[in-house]
Amino acid sequence: MTDQTHDPALQSWVESANEAGTDFPVQNLPYGMFRDSKDGRPRLGVAIGAQVLDATAAFGLESMKAVMEKPKAEREELRRRISRFLVTRDRGAESRLTPMAAAEMLPPCEIGDYSDFYASIHHATNVGTMFRPDNPLMPNYKWLPVGYHGRASSIVLSGTPVRRPRGQLVDNPAGPPVYGESRRVDYELEVGALLGPGNAMGEPIPAGQAAGHLFGVCLLNDWSARDIQTWEYQPLGPFLSKSFATSIAPWVVTMEALEPFRCAPEPRPASDPQPLPHLATGGEDAYSITLEVWLRSARMAEPMRLSRGNFSTMYWTLAQMVAHHASNGCPLRPGDLIGSGTVSGPLKENRGCLLEATWRGTEPIELPTGEVRRFLEDGDEVTLRGWCEAAGARRIGLGECRGVVQAAVAH
């Protein structure tokens, strides 16, 4: 539900927040952890234009987790308080600001657990067609959000270099493998969601309450080594092909900020099954978020856009992922991270990874320098961007998530 914090006419006394095209107007108010030069202590910040509001000093909030674990109603009231602070200037309010360029961004929270889903039917169909052209989707796909448990220890902040991994590689699907550097490093354009209050072990989260356990979203790049993945993923799924790095953006856009951009999921074909009762969230629990991928090689002066898609095309929603994750009684905790899986759409320009965009390397992409890319090369920088727009609402952004591929560690 929208309230006065979403009013597109709202203006902040922070002038940069009122500029056209900013990701962080006063209608957004995303959270992030940062450190400035004052005392070097980690602080909870709120992005406002080109500034960071010190929410630790202004509101006594010591960490992101302190907000995540609050019930949804309390998070909504806190958002209203922050909005009033940034709309109505109090004496000395400027002292709570740090220029974004001078703030050292930190991971948003300690992530205890990370699970990644496979929620785009367009992505799943494309990948399935490459490997199983006669049967691209497994029988379970339309009945539950397929996912796997990731590795929280390898989640890194945007800007952190990503080392090319080593692993077992095969030329023949039957083996034998050799151990070496991955030759097919890829990105995956995803939306990450950080979770809120959570549930007790053994107590599922009802589908109708799942949205209340979503705290906010960020851009997420699930780096993948496709050649390692091909050999290892059967029968238990990805392992070393994913656990070498996952990048996240520093700013977490709250579910409250996304309210004006909530929409109904795309209608399912009449031939598809409807979700079982424990996954039937009902209503409008999809979100219209435009997402882009940009690539810049070491030889390029400016980046090139590789794809643009929209998060509203996902077959399974974030709330359904939460409901499914907890449906067996699995305890979810504040700060847990879930990934949506690659966001792809029906068109070639919507494909959210190189595996799809180059169709497993058979349709290489030509860069402005004359270079071609089937998969990522050392020195390639990948940048994810995202924003929301809707009639009657102020545009808000998710910032960006960047990473540069570096050569594998020498052996």
The DSSP annotation for 26-69 comes to TTT--EEEEE-TTT---EEEEEETTEEEEHHHHH----HHHHHT
- Tell me, what's the pLDDT at 90? 82
What is the pLDDT at residue 98? 95
Q: What are phi and psi of 287, to 5 degrees?
A: -135, 135
Indicate whether 2 pLDDT > 90.
yes
Q: Residue range 290-313: average pLDDT?
A: 98
pLDDT for 285 equals 95
Q: How confident is the model at residue 91 (pLDDT cuts 50, 70, 90)?
A: confident
pLDDT above 80: residue 353:
yes
Report the pLDDT value the prediction gives residue 411, as an integer from 0 to 100.
75
Angle, vertex CA 373, rays to CA 371 and CA 378, nearest 5: 85
| C-alpha dist (Å) from residue 130 to 137, 227, 237, 358 | 11, 14, 17, 11
Q: Which residues contact 157 (CB under 8 A, 6 or more apart)?
A: 105, 106, 107, 247, 248, 250
pLDDT for residue 382 is more than 80: yes
For residue 366, what pLDDT is reported? Answer: 98
- pLDDT tier at 326 (50, 70, 90 boundaries)? very high
In degrees and rounded to multiples of 5, residue 259 shows phi and psi of -50, -45
Looking at residue 327, its pLDDT comes to 98
Q: Which domains does the chain have, with CATH numbers?
A: 4-106 (2.30.30.230), 114-285+309-356 (3.90.850.10)
C-alpha to C-alpha distance for 313 and 347, rounded to whole angstroms: 11
Say yes or no to pLDDT of 272 above 90: yes
pLDDT of 92 > 90? The answer is no
Q: What percent of the chain has pLDDT over 90?
A: 94
Contact assessment for residue 202 and residue 209, using Cβ atoms and an 8 Å cutoff: no
pLDDT of 113 strictly over 90: yes
Structure tokens at 96: 């709570």
List C-alpha distances in Å: 309 to 86, 102, 190, 249, 252. 32, 32, 11, 18, 20
- Write out the catalytic residue numbers: 123
Q: What average pLDDT does this structure show over 86-90?
A: 92
| Residue 231, number of CB atoms within 10 A of its CB | 16
89: confidence class by pLDDT, cuts 50, 70, 90? confident
DSSP structure class, residue 172? S
Reading the block at residue 134, the tokens are: 């006669």
Q: How far apart are CA 252 and CA 317, in angstroms?
A: 18
Pairing state between β 337-339 and 114-117: parallel
Q: What is the mean pLDDT of residues 172-188?
A: 96
Region 376-400: what's the mean pLDDT? 98
pLDDT for position 157: 98
Residue range 142-146: mean pLDDT, rounded = 98
Share the mean pLDDT of the chain.
96
The mean pLDDT of 252-259, rounded to a whole number, is: 98
**What is the average pLDDT across 33-46?**
90
